[in-house]
Structure 1
């Protein structure tokens, strides 16, 4: 009886291992499929953003041209109107560029929460070891 019980336990353990391996393989296949679909969706979204940027650039150019033409009727000089509009756009570009540069500085990109968590984990481990 005991031999048969051990056989059954060994068989059950072997079957559990086979099923666990099969489940892990299926989970990995699902993971690969999901990641592949997510990457495809990401690239589609990126393409839409690029197309939107192209249309936005065209719109800004047309609006800028219209603004210069309108301002030329006010100041009676197309050259002066172009200088005014160009100067304002240059100031906006400089401001946005400086703001973007500060947003990308190394201090803002440092993973502070992760570093804090790692320090806390190291402290806990050192306390347990002591």
Structure 2
């Protein structure tokens, strides 16, 4: 009777392993399908952002032209109006570029919270060792 009991236990363990393997394969297939869908969604979103950027650039060009035309009526010189608007836009571009460069600097991107946490952990460990 113990042989039948062992065989039954072995059979149950084998069945459980097969079902676990089947479940893992199905879970992996679900994961793969979900990730494929997520990648598609990301690419669609990225395409929409690119199209939006193109429309934004066109809008900025139209607004700039309208601003130059309006300013030309105020200062009575189209060239001076273009220089004023161009200068203001250059200052804005330089400011945004400098801010972006600063935001991407190595010191800004360093994992500061992790470094602080590691230092704190090292201090606690050294206190426990010495104290």
Q: TM over 0.5: same fold?
A: yes
RMSD: 2.1
1:41 alignment partner in structure 2: 41
Shift of 1:114: 4.9
Give the match for residue 61 of structure 1: 61
Distance across 2 between alignment mates of 1:21 and 1:72? 75
Q: Which residue of 1 aligns with 2:96?
A: 96
Query: TM-score with structure 2 length normalisation?
Result: 0.86
Gaps of 5+ in 1: none
Unaligned runs of 5+ in 2: none
In the other structure, the counterpart of 1:11 is 11
Q: TM-score, normalised to structure 1's length?
A: 0.86
1:14 shift after superposition:
0.6
**Deviation of residue 51 (structure 1)?**
0.4
Where do residues 23-38 of structure 1 align in structure 2 (5 Å cutoff)?
A: 23-38=23-38
Give aligned pairs, total: 124
Distance between the aligned counterparts of 1:109 and 1:14, measured in 2? Answer: 51
